[in-house]
Structure formats: structure tokens, C-alpha cells
Structure 1
Amino acid sequence: MQPGPEPRVVNDNGAWCWFQDERALVDPASQTLVVGSIAAAEGPGGEARSGNVELAVVDLRTGASEVVVLHERLEADDHDVPALWRRSDGRWLAVYTRHKTDDLTRWRVSEPDDATRWGPERTFDWSALTGGRGVTYSNLRAVDGRLYCFARAVNDDQCALVSDDEGDTWAYAGKLFTRPKVGYVNGYTRYAGGAGERIDLVTTDHHPRDFDNSVYHGYLEGGVLRRSDGGVLDPEALQGEAFSQEGLTTVLAAGSEWGGERISHCWTTDIRRSGDGTVAAVLTARFGGDPEERFFRKRPVPDLRFFYARLAPGGEWQVSEMAQAGPGLMPHEEDYTGLAAIDPYDLDAVYVSTPVDPGSGERLAHHEIFAGQTADGGASWTWTPVTENSDVDNLRPIVAPGDPSRAPLLWFRGSMTASQHYACEIVLLDRVR
């Protein structure tokens, strides 16, 4: 990969959560990069800008960028970040929600080939289905010629809206899986598209602060929800009563041992699928100690770990410990990490945000971004620093898909004390392969 320019700021106030996709996307024809984020009161613009749902629209040929506001002061919460879709007519689609504080999925459609000009906001009201308990997250994926928007909604389960006109209108499709709720919500799910008519996913049982989660994998194909090996869990997915995600394939099991230490409270981070059917995921878990002691916060949480999981065609998973993720990012969110991103066009390449050098094991003053490369399916890695000696944290990297000839790496840097409070700027390091 050829070296690109130094990282440049594309939005001076913003952050994102990681259960929405695509949060950043490239139009290969116009070489336009669009990345969504939420502004906070602690950043430039202060309270007047707090909660803005924003898009940074970047011309990758010139480096020029413009910030567009989709919704002014929706809510100061990184969970509200939009999911993006590039339509066949050249328009962009952006879909977003609040963080469980109302029941509306919102969306806007751009003018043709112009991500800076947008039509009016429209809404889908979930309240008749949720009983007014709220909706969170948006994930746009297409399968069988239909566009799906996956959200956490009814019973805080994974549900879907469906559109047959590329997002002009939406209807309720159904619930993907379900189980009795424990604590705050049910499973946390990441979705991957890619070549072929299927949507892959990894999911958990509940929130890791409420439950000793495992991580499960399955895929939606032809209206059927299948396990990793193709076995059927739900022959009529999104119709009628849904099955529990426990019936999917276990990828990373709570209670399993790695290096003689027990892992627990697993969580999902990223998932990608390549054109040959290979699936890769990055997962996290608490490492070592008694999970019940940590569950009830009787002592500090041990370090978290990143795990890399690779599914080859045929249904067999290879899982390896990849890197230390450090302690929890926030005292009240002990399972939050700096996150990691898989290159959507090279499943052997990842980018991690960690306060521990994955090559040397040295503890660092701040979260730094490292590029990792594997030649053996994740069993071993070589690491190269992307950032070094920073005076602030570098968090939540994304590699924006859309153009296989480029690897636009995005992250935000600054200070973050909660999902609602941060002073961060969004930077881009654009690289040509």
C-alpha cells in the first residue's frame, strides 16, 4: 500500500458508536467520501451545535471537505450516528435514530450525486410495536433485491424494516431473533454484506455489564436464518415468532480459556465478508479473574482483549487472541474499548485503537492506532503504528468501503468521558492501495 498524506481533520466536532453501518462510505465514481457523526457540547460550537447529526462530505481527489447537518440538535449521543447507503440512482440515503428516547427511525435522501443537498426528513414510528420503549441503531444491508434497516426495537431485540424502493419508503419486516430480556437490552449485533445474496451477523446474548455473554454467528439468505455451517435455525426469518440467538453458531464462548485464563462478557466489534465467502470478525472479552466478582464490581476489571475470528467457506471458525485492548475506556462502561476495524477489501488487515502496544506490550499514555497484518488467518500478526506519542486518545477506527482501490482510514481523537460527552475531532488518513 502506498503511503498517503498525514491525517487531516474533516470535522472538528464529532464521534460515533459502532452498532451502525455503514457509518462511512465512498462513491467510487465521484471519489466522494461521506462519514456521519454526532456533535457534542464540549466541542466547537458548544450547546448550539450539541446533538447535530452531521455528515462530513470529502472530495478525495482534492481533499476539500464540507460539513452538512441532517438534523439540528437531535440528541447529544454517539448512538444517533446515521447509517449510509449509496442508491442505484446516484442518491445517498441516511438513516438514524435517537438512543432509545423515542420510537422514530428517521431518514433523508440526497439530491442525485450530491451528498451536500438533502430532501426532507421522513419517519417510521415504531411505538405501536415497542409500546413506547424506544428504538436504537440503524444498519443498512441489501439481500434478495431488498434493502433492510436492522434496528434494536421490539423487546430490545434485533428487528428490521424493509424497503423495495431503496429507502424512499419503509415497512416493518419482523424480528430477527428474540429471548427474554436481561438487564438493559438484548443482543448487540453487527452485520456484514458483500458479494452474494446473504447478510452475515455476529451477536451477543445481552449487554456485557448485565450478562456473561458469548458471541454467535449466523447469516440470512433466501429468507432463512442459518448457522455458520448452513444449518437452519429459522426457516421463515423475520416472520412470526423468532428464535433465540443461542441457536446460532458459537464463535467465542464465555468461560473458554486462552493462555490459561478464563474469558468472559464477550462483545461484538466488527465483521466483514469478502467476495470469496470468507467472513472475519473482531470480538472483545474480559480476560482473567472471576467473572462474578467483576460482574458485581467488587474489584477493578482486568484488561480486555481483542480476538480475531475467521470463517472459511464450509462453516469452520478459526479464532485467535489478537491484541490487548487495555482497561475499559470509561469507568461506568468497563467493556468499552478503543475498538478495531477490519479492512473491507483485505480481511488480513485490521486497525486497532489500544493503550497497549500490540507488538511490544508497552503501556502507552493514550490510545493509539495500530495497523495489523496477518498471513496465517489471524494466528499471528505484525503491527505498525499509525499514530505515536499522541497527547490525546485516538478512538474507534473505520475503514470506509466503496472503492477497492482506496483504504480511507477514519477515527476521532480527543477526550471522551461518556457516549454523550466528548471533545473530539474526526480525522482521515486516505491511502491508495
Structure 2
Amino acid sequence: MNYRLFVFLLALLFPAKPAKAQEGSTVAATDAAWCWFSDPRALYHREKKEAVYFGYINSSGDVMVRSLDLRTHKMQEYTLHEKLQQDDHDVPSFLFLPDHRLLAFYCHHNGDIFMRKTVNPEDISSWEEERVILKKDSVNLYCYMNPVMLRDEHNRIYLFGRNIVRRKNGINQPWGETGIYCIYSDDDGSTWSKKTNLLDNSGRNTPQYVKYATDNKSRIDFLFTNGHPKQGADISVHHMYYEKGAFFQTNGKKIGGFGDLPVLISDVNKVYDPEAGKARSWIWDIALDAANRPVVTYARYPSETKHEYYYARWNGRQWNTKKIADAGPYITIIKPGKKLLEAHYSGGIVLDHANPGSIYLSRQINGKFEIEQLKAGDTAQRVSVTGRSLVDNIRPYAVSRGRGRRPLLFWMAGNYYHYTDFDTNLKMIK
């Protein structure tokens, strides 16, 4: 019998005793899910009001945005797009403009990239008309949105995500020549540049995945794989960064300029080599420390039912890597009569970007996924965020409020069957 199905049936037969709710935790949104490759999916912003803004997909396929005023506790909600797709890949990501209006980006899972802009600062009740800024066609399919604004480039906005090119030499392919699109805007999103491909995967017929970090001034860091872990045992983790028109290895060695794109993945130094580690991998998070050095989290997969979390920090000369925890198996619950589709969906391990020595993770404890907080330097000291839960707690996301302040913590709570089939809410701790 499948492992997760076995645990699921045991939970039905012998339900756990309910636990007291975590002090300070609230349900931020019911019927809500998100993936982890479009960020920021939640943002803290403080100007005339202090609020958190976050997005999600519901089971009707509506693209939703909410804001919570942290002083008055007033919640606002807006539907960016009704019935786009019942798929958590479509979750919106956000960026605040210098005038404090909010940009929202969302997508089809392998389709179009959409954008909307609020009419007024710090107010999600009114939006400009929806625009398609990347349109799918017979060749190109788009997914994921990761906006970054750099002050030193006159507030240029970069947008990154996945582009599957379905045809090569006139032949359709399952994944095609998958790339990472890059477009940019110098006028607050009113117009966008032509598309550029960021990465070259040497013709591998598998999608690469990227996570992004920035100092919001001059630098963008990229943590990426050379494929999907279910499509190869040799899935590695790489890092590079962009600054002042050029791309660099982690150690500062120049790779090439913006005009030299795409960067060949096989030429980029590895954070993790699966040949040495003897397990495929996938990425979870990247942040920059106070010295602008990258800190990353990722998962290794000795088997489908044994996921492991790792933390790596660049010390200026090399990556210092540490195993953080055994995560348990995949989060996907397999319904009777269904097959396992996503064996590499872990509970999740993320960083407080204002203090990347602080880690939040989801791992299986007594048959359910629970959220924990710990310090990278002392993994034995764990603080339980959830416990004795009746449902899984997965995909945590820490929303930074600045150095010296505790982040706002979000996560999904419920039963997760597939990215198109979920019964989850978003919870948060302020």
C-alpha cells in the first residue's frame, strides 16, 4: 500500500486528539492554496498604514488578494481574476511601486502572464484593468512570476519566470527547450521589454526551477536547478548573482553581461552536486545576509518517502552546508484509486529574509506535517509552531518586517492531494 495512503487511512481510523490552537494564530483565508515558485506571494508594507498583503488560489480557480491592517485588524479582499484555473501555480506575486501602489502578477499554469495595478496607494479595493504582458502562442507557454525592483537602476522592475518552448526544429516536445524568461520595465510596469532567456539547460528535456533574492538596490541572486527531480536522478543546485549589468559566480568571478544571455547552467558552480550527495534535489529558499552573502535551503531525496532538508551559507570562500532535519515523505495525500503524481513535494523549509539564520520548516510528526522554528546554529532547539494537528501544515512563508522584528508567518493547513485538488486554508501568526 502507498505510504501516504496508509497514513491517511490510519488517521481516519484513529484520529489524533485535538490540540490547542497556537497562541496568536489566525485563519488568514479559507479555501486557499499557493505554490512556492512565485514570490513575493505575501508582502509587508508600512507607510500611512501598516499592513500585510497576500494572495492565493481558491478551489474555484479564482485569483485572490487580501490585505490585513495590522493596527486596525481590518481585512480587505479583491478577486483579481474569476475562475482562471483551479491550480495553485497561478498564485499572484506582488511588488510595491515607489508611489505605494501595488502591482500584482499572476498566470495560467503554462499559459499567459497577467498584471494589474491598484488605482490608489495602499488600497486593494480598486484596480486598473487586467493586462496580458506575456501571451502564450503555439510555441511559448509561461508560468511563475518573480518581480524585483532595483533602486540603483532607476527603479527598473525585472520579472522572471518559466517559459516552455514546445517546439524544437519543428518537433513538439513534452517539456521542450525550457527556459527562464526575463522582461523588464522602466516605467512602473506600463511598458515591458522584449523577452530574454536567462538560462540554457543544454537541451535537457526537463524544466529548471529558480528562486530569487535581492538587496532591492543593485543585486539579484538566483538559486536554480537543472531540472525537475521526478525527471532525473542528477538534479543539482546552482547559484549565481546579477549586479550592474553582469552575472557572476558565487565567488565573484564574472560569467558574462546581460547581452551574453542565456547563461549555460553547466558552467555555473554548484551548491549541491547529486553525484557526490547520491540523491536528487530541489530548491526551497534563498536570502541575503547582512554582508550580502547568499543563504539557501533545499531538499534532498534519498527516496520518495525520505526527504531531507539542508541549509547552506556562503562564507566568502565556500558553501558551509548542514543537514537540518528529516522531513518525512511527500505531502500529497493519495485518494483511493488515484496514483502518486508528485513524490517530491516536501512540506517546505524557508528563511526569515531579515535574519536568515532563522528557519521555518514543515516536517511529518506522528503522521501529520507540523511547522517548527529553529536556528541554523542550534538545530536541536526546535520551537513548535503547530502540534498534534488533525490536518497537515505545509508550505510556510516568512514575511519580513525588517531586521530585529519577528516576521509574519503564513502556511497552508489542510489536506493537499495535488496542485489542482486541495482542501486547505491559509493560517498566519502575527
Normalised to the residue count of structure 1, the TM-score between the two structures is 0.84
Contact 2:354 2:401 survives alignment (8 Å)? no
Which whole-Å CA distance do the structure 2 matches of 1:346 and 1:302 have between them? 31
* Aligned residue number for residue 141 of structure 1: 148
1:402 shift after superposition:
4.7
Contact 2:295 2:313 survives alignment (8 Å)? yes
Aligned pairs (5 A) from 1:241-280: 241-257=261-277, 262=278, 264-280=279-295
Which whole-Å CA distance do the structure 2 matches of 1:275 and 1:106 have between them? 34
Superimposed CA distance per residue, residues 12-65 of structure 1 (whole angstroms, 9 cap, x where no aligned partner) = 11111001110000112211101111001xxxxxxxxx1100012111113332
Question: Alignment partner for residue 45 of structure 2, among 10, 20, 27?
Answer: 27
* Aligned residue number for residue 46 of structure 1: none
- The more displaced of 315-324 and 88-97 is 315-324
What RMSD, in angstroms, separates the aligned Cα atoms of the two structures?
A: 1.8
1:195 shift after superposition:
5.5
Identity %: 28
* Aligned residue number for residue 76 of structure 2: 66
Question: Alignment partner for residue 90 of structure 1, among 86, 94, 100?
Answer: 100
Contact 2:300 2:309 survives alignment (8 Å)? yes
> Is residue 225 from structure 1 mapped to residue 247 from structure 2 by the alignment?
yes
- What SS does the aligned partner of 1:172 have? coil
- The more displaced of 221-230 and 56-65 is 56-65
Which whole-Å CA distance do the structure 2 matches of 1:315 and 1:88 have between them? 36
How many matched pairs?
383
> Is residue 39 from structure 1 mapped to residue 41 from structure 2 by the alignment?
no
Superimposed CA distance per residue, residues 233-274 of structure 1 (whole angstroms, 9 cap, x where no aligned partner) = 2x223x3552321211200110224xxxx3x21111011113
Contact 1:174 1:240 survives alignment (8 Å)? no
* Aligned residue number for residue 10 of structure 2: none
1:172 shift after superposition:
2.3
- Unpaired stretches in structure 2, ≥5 consecutive residues: 1-21, 166-176, 333-339
Aligned pairs (5 A) from 1:28-427: 28-29=46-47, 30-40=49-59, 50-100=60-110, 102=111, 104-110=112-118, 111-127=120-136, 131-143=138-150, 144-145=153-154, 146-153=156-163, 154=165, 155-183=177-205, 185-194=206-215, 196-211=217-232, 212-233=234-255, 235-237=256-258, 239=259, 241-257=261-277, 262=278, 264-287=279-302, 301-312=304-315, 314-330=316-332, 331-356=340-365, 364-375=366-377, 380-404=379-403, 405-427=405-427
- Unpaired stretches in structure 1, ≥5 consecutive residues: 41-49, 289-300, 357-363
1:307 shift after superposition:
0.4
- What SS does the aligned partner of 2:428 have? strand
Q: Structure 1 pair 132/8, CA: closer, same or farther in 2 (3 Å)?
A: same
Normalised to the residue count of structure 2, the TM-score between the two structures is 0.85
- What SS does the aligned partner of 1:256 have? helix
Which whole-Å CA distance do the structure 1 matches of 2:125 and 2:276 have between them? 49
- What SS does the aligned partner of 2:231 have? coil
1:406 shift after superposition:
4.2
Contact 1:83 1:139 survives alignment (8 Å)? yes
Which whole-Å CA distance do the structure 2 matches of 1:302 and 1:351 have between them? 21
